[in-house]
Chains A and B, each alone.
Chain A
Amino acid sequence: MAHEAVAEATQQVVMNTTFWTATIIFLLAYAIIVSEKVHKTIVAIVGAALMLVLKILEQHEAFHVEELGVDWNVIFLLISMMTIINLMRPTGFFEYIAIKSAKWGKGEPFKIMAIFSVVTAVLSAFLDNVTTVLLLAPVTLLIADALEVDPIPFLITEALASNIGGTATLIGDPPNIMIASKAKLNFMDFIVHLTPAIIIIMVAFLFVIKLIFGKKLKVKPELKKRVLEMNEREAIKDPVMLKKSLFVLAVVILGFIFHGKLHYEPATVALFGAGLLLLLSGTHEPHEYLAEVEWPTIFFFMGLFIIIGGVVKVGLIKWMSQKVLEITHGNMFSTSMLVMWFSAFASAFVDNIPYVATMNPLIIDMAKEIWPNLHGIQLLHNPALMPLWWSLALGACLGGNGTAIGASANVIVVGMAERAGRKISFAKFMLYGMPIMILTVVISMIYVWLRYYVLKI
């Protein structure tokens, strides 16, 4: 029945020259991004420029129309959070936390691994994963040297924990930021719907690593003393700036918690935080902190938004959404599960940012096919559609754990291990990552099914 209703509402997509031009730019850009022959940011910028030059999109649409162009909410949220972290990094806060954690684990390697995983997950939920891993990995290598244990299991579990933790909140991982912006979901929506799933997943994750490493990791008592004798206070390089940073971070997190109620977009909250911390830092060289923003990532986002805008405008995404509905016969539960598993495997091998950038309009177009009379929030927040957003977020974020290239955090730890003279091969990472990915997606599947289709809460 649902399928017939869908078929009736379907409007034919016109496949003219513009349609094919946009589709070719889109496919070619994605193919080159996957092949890594040209830097992804350059591909995104050239692709976006072609969409404009070939008049598939008007410049006005690319820059100023929310449905077709750059999502400035995502851009400013990323820039602002990166600026806050750049100001916070030199204070030594992250090194302090890491050394404190290692001492808290009493120098026991498995305890340290578990505590580091939890700390990484929590930090990744509020800061970006790359920064978290980038700051914790050096301390991990130091602790592993002190305990004379292999650092690789520690580094891999940290990357996995970072991707799991990042899934928990709106600001934890770029896919969530993009989903929140398109679906008009607020910070508390993510806390209510995704955080419980992530807590369950984290418990399961700790249980699994306990099974694998709990017995294996043993060290002599005199080596534990090396860790216990470290004084974490020496890590703090700038206590005054640290206090200012923590104050601003608290303001920002409070701002996120209440942004829905106060009717502020997340980017407004983050921009305020970045401005405030820049002001409080008393720096006369903002250039230093602003230059460290990952501009290639920011331009990658901007380019992608415009490329996607082009294929949305010509109807390719709408056509794809019709095909998905044909496969699932309009059944929302099977659509959710398809979205979750497909997202997980897609994100394990390709960048989840372009993937989610494509899926967001696809889900919206799909919703328009199913409920042609609904608009705005009524459409986006339709109770039957909500599980799809959560399935997309869970699949795309957790899928990153599948392979060494699935998420930026993984790429970082592999790179760091290599610089420390320890190679983590693609296969070795997958040996840990893939089973964890499948386990976490199975848990997510049960969670979505129980919560939204059985208990309906």
Chain B
Amino acid sequence: MKAKDIMEPMSDTLRPDITIKEAIKQMKMARRDDTRVGVKGMVVVTDKGELIGMFSIKDVLKAIIPQYMKMSELSDFTWEGMLEAMAKKVEDMKVQDVMTRDVITVREEAPLMEVADVIVKNNLQRVPVVGKDGRPVGIIYVRDLYHALVKAMLGEED
């Protein structure tokens, strides 16, 4: 099997100039087939459909942890409600300011083994699949690989 056989076709994408709050809402409402599943990461594309970044909950967490905690060992000094307060502070920042710009991708024709390797090596939760022209055509989540494993080991569709 190849990447394109297990990927979920690209349906939902984010625009770089929307706010974090809007992006979170869009991710929460994400659908698969007809059911609302919600995702914790989405690709960011321009109006022309070019892939320019990946936006995930981890990027939001990175943005809400204050710089001073990274500069100094101050993680012992927090207060009740600090995470919520910091989240409020960043909600109006733009997606393009916090997204991960160096996106790791796989080709449509990439074998599943390559996909697994890329996911493990880079500690990813999801990897966009790109077509020949470099535009994103789908996305593979860790759970899609899990389904493939279940099928291989138990010989059944879960």
A142-B73 in contact given A226-B79, A229-B79 (Cβ < 8 Å)? no
Q: Which among B67, B74, B79, B85 is the interface contact of A95 at CB below 8 angstroms? A: B74
* A137–B67 alpha-carbon span in the complex (Å): 11
Q: In the complex, what's the smallest C-beta–C-beta distance from A6 to chain B, in angstroms? A: 54
* Residue A420 is within 8 A (CB to CB) of chain B in the complex: yes
| Contact present for B73 and A141 (CB under 8 Å) | no
Number of chain A residues close to chain B: CB under 8 A: 22
Q: Chain B: residues with CB nearer than 8 A to chain A?
A: 66-69, 71-74, 76-77, 79-80, 82, 85-86
A-B contact pairs, 13 of them (CB 8 A): A95-B72, A95-B73, A135-B72, A138-B67, A138-B72, A142-B66, A142-B77, A145-B82, A145-B86, A229-B79, A230-B77, A231-B76, A235-B74
Q: Chain A: residues with CB nearer than 8 A to chain B?
A: 92, 95, 99, 135, 137-139, 141-142, 145-146, 226, 229-231, 234-235, 237, 416, 419-421
Q: In the complex, what's the smallest C-beta–C-beta distance from B35 to chain A, in angstroms? A: 38
Chain A residues with CB below 8 A from B76, complex form: 231, 234-235
Q: Which among B67, B74, B85, B86 is the interface contact of A139 at CB below 8 angstroms? A: B74
| Contact present for B67 and A420 (CB under 8 Å) | yes
Q: In chain B, what residue has the closest Cβ to A235?
A: B76
Chain A residues with CB below 8 A from B71, complex form: 138, 416
Apart from A138-B69, A235-B73, 19 more pairs, CB < 8 Å: A95-B72, A95-B73, A137-B68, A138-B71, A138-B72, A139-B68, A139-B74, A141-B67, A142-B66, A142-B77, A145-B66, A145-B82, A145-B85, A145-B86, A230-B77, A235-B74, A235-B76, A416-B68, A420-B68
Chain B residues with CB below 8 A from A146, complex form: 79
Number of residue pairs spanning A and B whose beta carbons lie under 8 angstroms apart: 50
* A235–B73 alpha-carbon span in the complex (Å): 8
* A96–B67 alpha-carbon span in the complex (Å): 19
Q: In the complex, what's the smallest C-beta–C-beta distance from A234 to chain B, in angstroms? A: 4
**9 closest Cβ contacts across the A-B interface?**
A138-B68, A138-B72, A234-B76, A226-B79, A141-B68, A419-B67, A138-B71, A420-B67, A230-B77
Q: In chain B, what residue has the closest Cβ to A419?
A: B67
Chain A residues with CB below 8 A from B69, complex form: 138, 142
* A447–B77 alpha-carbon span in the complex (Å): 43
* A92–B74 alpha-carbon span in the complex (Å): 9
Q: Which among B66, B80, B82 is the interface contact of A141 at CB below 8 angstroms? A: B66
Q: In the complex, what's the smallest C-beta–C-beta distance from B86 to chain A, in angstroms? A: 8
| Contact present for A139 and B79 (CB under 8 Å) | no
Q: In the complex, what's the smallest C-beta–C-beta distance from B40 to chain A, in angstroms? A: 24
Chain A residues with CB below 8 A from B85, complex form: 145
Q: In the complex, what's the smallest C-beta–C-beta distance from B60 to chain A, in angstroms? A: 15
Chain A residues with CB below 8 A from B79, complex form: 146, 226, 229-230
A237-B67 in contact given A226-B79, A229-B79 (Cβ < 8 Å)? no
Chain B residues with CB below 8 A from A230, complex form: 77, 79
* A146–B77 alpha-carbon span in the complex (Å): 10
| Contact present for A139 and B72 (CB under 8 Å) | yes
Q: In chain B, what residue has the closest Cβ to A151?
A: B68
Q: In the complex, what's the smallest C-beta–C-beta distance from B67 to chain A, in angstroms? A: 5
